[in-house]
Amino acid sequence: MRLALVSAALLFTTSVTAAEMNPEQQRWLDELAGKFELPVTELNDAITQATYQQSIIDAMTRPAEAKPWHQYRPIFLTDKRLQQGVEFWQQHAELLARAEQELQVPAQVITAIIGVETFYGAHMGSHKVLDALYTLGFNYPPRGEFFRSEFAHYLQLAKEQDWTLDEQKGSYAGAMGMGQFISSSYRHYAVDFDADGVRNLFQPVDAIGSVANYFHEHKWQPGDDVAYPAKVTDTEAADALLSPALEMSHSWAELAAAGVVVDQELAADTPVKLIRLDGVDGPEYWVVRHNFYVITRYNRSPLYAMAVYQLSEQLKQAYEQSL
């Protein structure tokens, strides 16, 4: 499958001029021009400035989220990431407290997101965003429609932010800043948290405020838990409740009736979901709640959401011990 995807991607291996556009590419540009109210000439000009990067296709076909949990977790749950996270929290304590107060998102969750995404701003990506979005939008059929949309959003964002198109660098997927916002998220959820007239997600103030705002806009429930480790007394009955859907698909009463046990008192009608992860010693079962689903709005992988949650809990404990 991977070879097939790469072979398909190699149909277009360089940036092209308007005269070299094939009919399908021209149709894509016409669609983007209509949807985003962008001149086709502007889209054409952006494409001539972009360069196809095979390394981006290669990275897209081997995401970390494809690993089992027992291999994924050690990538993000490390002593160094925890230590650096506490230092980041200490350095920006007032700012994080303000974000928590105004937007009702816990400081440890904001810190964990930035820690998982960019190691607290140390690794924000080395790919030109224009190249990444062009490569994936016009050369990666499985998700081409999504990344073409992000390509157009990036053109609009660059005008709004007064950037040159090849100025910004980010991840292989075109995500930017300390919190790794894709272009549409940058436009919709980034905030000017220091009121300097610019939404700069490459600096801590706006990055912290914007991560908090993202979670606030996706209905984070302050005071609610995220997840509980669970035991199952009837594996067959519990496994029948598993679902690839990310939404809360059951009530606690349904899980309890299937022999799921957690060390927490929950109302029978609490919306929950059961997930199973591949742990070192076998399956790990977790009962997750709405706030876990909110984390998956940032990245749709349950592995990602669990890593963020567990790092956030470690950060909270370590930070409180440092006071």
Given phi > 0 = left and psi -120 to 50 = alpha, else beta, which region is 144?
alpha
Q: What is the band of 7 on the pLDDT scale with cuts at 50, 70, 90?
A: very low
Residue 265 to residue 31: CA distance in whole angstroms: 52
Residue 311 to residue 75: CA distance in whole angstroms: 11
For residue 14, give the nearest of 51, 65, 60, 64 by alpha carbon: 51
Among the listed residues 117, 150, 247, 284, the single catalytic one is 117
Cβ–Cβ under 8 Å, residues 271 and 251: yes
Q: Which helix (H) or strand (E) holds 283?
A: strand 282-288
Establish whether 145 is a catalytic residue: no
Is residue 282 packed enough to be buried (19+ CB in 10 Å), middle (13-18) or exposed (0-12)? exposed
Q: What is the band of 68 on the pLDDT scale with cuts at 50, 70, 90?
A: very high
Q: Kindly report, residue by residue over 225-267, the tens digit of the pLDDT.
A: 999 999 999 999 999 999 999 999 999 999 999 999 999 999 9
Strand partners, 272: 250
pTM of the model: 0.92
Three-state SS at 262: strand
Write down the mean pLDDT value for the chain: 93
